[in-house]
Amino acid sequence: KKGYMMRKCCWYSNGKKTPLGKRKWKMFYVMLEGMALCLHKNENGFKKQGVTDNPDNLIRIYHAFAEPALDYKKKQHVFTLYTADGSKYMFQCSNTKDTEEWILSINRT
Ligand code: I3P
């Protein structure tokens, strides 16, 4: 699965809260590739650089868990992603179907 999503980083690894100033929502072109989400500025970036691009923009999803962000009321179509190393992200999709697909794709990986 692949496509554009907005992403916000809530916790770095080990549940460490992302500091103020680094909590912005940001648009990425996201690609589920093996056991990772690869995040790129846009589709072009992905074609040029492939998956080895910037390791900061690679989220490992082995033993990760995604669920709808039901308690987050500011935006629609948001899901939360908890990773095995204790980080937490939120992703905003474009519609309900897309959100469900991302959650299923991540959780079955
Ligand atoms: C953050 C930015 C985010 C906001 C976050 C702010 O500021 O305004 O949009 O999240 O709130 O800290 P900055 O740009 O300085 O990183 P929401 O849109 O979810 O409110 P938060 O600290 O409560 O997560």
Expressed in angstroms and rounded, the spacing between residue 59 Cα and the centre of ligand 1 is 20
In the reported structure, the alpha carbon of residue 70 is separated from the centroid of ligand 1 by a whole-number distance in angstroms of 18
Task: Look at residues 48, 108, 65 and name the one whose alpha carbon lies nearest to residue 38.
Answer: 48
Which residue did the predictor score with more confidence, 52 or 102?
Answer: 102
Instruction: Look up residue 57 and give its amino acid.
Output: N
Stated as kind and residue range, the H or E segment containing 104 is: helix 96-107
CA distance 40 to 28: 5
- pLDDT tens-place string over residues 44-98: 876 666 555 565 689 999 999 999 999 999 999 999 999 999 999 999 999 999 9
Rounded Cα distance, 34 and 51, in Å:
10
**pLDDT confidence of 41, banded at 50, 70, 90?**
confident
Asked whether this complex has an ipTM greater than 0.90, the answer is yes
Distance 48 CA to ligand 1 centre (A): 31
Collapsing DSSP states into helix, strand and coil, what is residue 105?
A: helix
Decide whether any atom of ligand 1 lies within 6 Å of the 25 Cβ: yes
